[in-house]
Amino acid sequence: MTTEETQIADVLKTAENWSKSGRQVALATVIETWGSAPRPVGSHLVIDAEGNFEGSVSGGCVEGAVVAEAVDVIDTRKPTTLEFGVADETAWRVGLSCGGRIRVYVEPVN
């Protein structure tokens, strides 16, 4: 197993463990990248209702925005897809300094 595969497995195991222990959990997954992106497709971030998280989908401000959105997904139980890049109006708030673009799917874990 590669280091990347091990990291993915660890995050998914954390999601399972947190959920089994009664924590409300969401899972964020990088589903698409374009240009330079800090994390590859398939990268995961697990988040609980308190905003605790493990794993990575990007880093910096993007990760903070994903965590905030994940807490909403936990509350509403409605998945969502987020997109981050430097070419839109969010560039200064949560843009990717590397110049790429990513799409992240955030879903509640049952």
| Residue numbers of the domain that contains 8 | 3-109
How high is the pLDDT of residue 60?
Answer: 72
How high is the pLDDT of residue 91?
Answer: 45
How high is the pLDDT of residue 30?
Answer: 95
CB 27 within 8 A of CB 15: yes
**Whole-prediction pTM value?**
0.84
At residue 35, the 3 state secondary structure works out as: coil
Cβ-based neighbours of 30, under 8 Å, separated by 6 or more: 37, 39, 40, 41, 42, 43, 44, 57, 58, 102, 103, 104
**Which residues of the chain have a pLDDT value below 50?**
91-92, 94-95
Domain count of the chain? 1
